[in-house]
Structure 1
Amino acid sequence: MASKGDLTKARLAASMLELIQTSGYSGTGLNAVTEHAAAPKGSIYFHFPDGKEGLGVAAVDLAATQFETLILEAAASAGSAAEAARAAIEALTTIVGDSDFRLGCPVSVVTLEMGAESERLRQACASAFESWIAPTAALLEANGVDAAGARSLATVVVSTIEGAVIVSRAMRSTAPLVSAADVVADLIDQRCQTVGGTR
């Protein structure tokens, strides 16, 4: 069972994650995080001695885990790689739309804001993207795509999804994500058919 301290640390990371999505990394102050998490004011530096940067890394790691879980669940329930990709994108589309386009991908937000300012945050973001590319590539390999081709296509898929989330938020429309789901699913289907994989 998690200790009270562990629960507070997890709440702080979750609050930082949510606030990054709505206010950006630079726009998220530590006081706002403690207030959102209903945590004591001194708790951030107790759990994250390096302050905001450490908390930001924890938030990015949490986002990475959440989306990786979404990918793995989609892969487990879908009949093909194309269906899995579509299911994952549809889940993201629901999140973005239901939040009135306030929520998107916090990893892309941190990358754009802090990638050139903090090597530690850049590395956390790179690891997050890798944690999504790797299981996507594994799924493609399981559908008959060679390792190099699977890695390349998985990178394109994740990059397409990230871009579609940003464009959807800018346009306040889920259409870019819907289009991305169609194009990504067709692309995966074509690649799997070419190598003799299953639909």
Structure 2
Amino acid sequence: MVTAKGAQTSARLVETMLELIQTRGYAGTGLNTLIEQSQAPKGSLYFHFPEGKEELGVRAVELAAEQFRALVADAASSAATPGEVVRRVVEVLAELLASSDFRLGCPVSVVTLEMGAQSERLRESCAGAFDSWITPVAAYLAANGRPEPVARALATAAVSAVEGAMIVSRAQRSVEPLRHTADALVTLLDGPVS
């Protein structure tokens, strides 16, 4: 049985892993650094995550997926159009990038690029995270009049475009690629329903 203190330690390890992936990448995150940054007792890592770094990476990806789903749901709860949802999400992401001096990005894309070919478990976790973002966007588009297959295709394109724009924004140290992507997606998503 995991105690409340144990649950807090486990959550702290996952949150720290997520932060380190965002700033150092998955491969650049060592377990000693994780223990030091999380201020968790050394023995707690393998107590809570007996499969080690890979298990912790999966949990960090799951946490990132949940945070992004919550961001999209919050934006969708008060937006009048699909394009407005995208614009609100992009503004939050642009603020995250700028306030971190372009050090933070999407941890799911980082893990996918670094480990997708080496760890099937991490690749599947990342695929699941992306799908968990695409599916509610597709449902929102379908609820706004797009046929199901078109909604799914548009949602996939929107998530893919925002992910790519995050990477370009980090490389250029500018939020303009994100904002240009939002402009293009507003035109696409709020255009005539076919």
Per the normalisation by structure 2, the TM-score is 0.97
Alignment RMSD, CA only?
0.8
Runs of 4+ in 1 over 2 A off after TM superposition: none
Partner of 1:91: 92
Aligned residues, how many? Answer: 192
Deviations along 1:74-125, whole A, 9 cap, x unmatched? 0001111111111111111111111100001000000000000000000000
State the distance in 2 between where 1:165 and 1:8 align: 31
Q: Which amino acid aligns with 2:170?
A: R
CA distance in 2 between partners of 1:34 and 1:4 (Å) = 16
CA distance in 1, matches of 2:36, 2:53: 15
Q: Which structure 2 segments of 5+ residues have no match? A: none
- Residue 110 of structure 1 pairs with residue 117 of structure 2: no
TM-aligned CA deviation for residue 27 of structure 1: 0.3
Correspondence 1:36-115 to 2 at 5 A: 36-115=37-116
Cα distance in 1 between the residues matched to 2:15 and 2:151: 32
Alpha carbons 2:86, 2:182 under 8 Å: kept: yes
- Give, as a single letter, the amino acid of the residue that structure 1 aligns with 2:96: I
Please give the secondary structure, in 1, of the residue aligned with 2:93: helix
Alignment of 1:2-13 (within 5 A): 3-13=4-14
- CA–CA separation in structure 1 for the residues paired with 2:59 and 2:193: 41
- Runs of 5+ in structure 1 lacking a partner? none
Other-structure match for 1:132: 133
Question: Contact 2:145–2:193 at 8 Å: present in 1 too?
Answer: no
Using structure 1 for the length normalisation, give the TM-score: 0.95
Counting aligned pairs with the same residue, the percent is 59
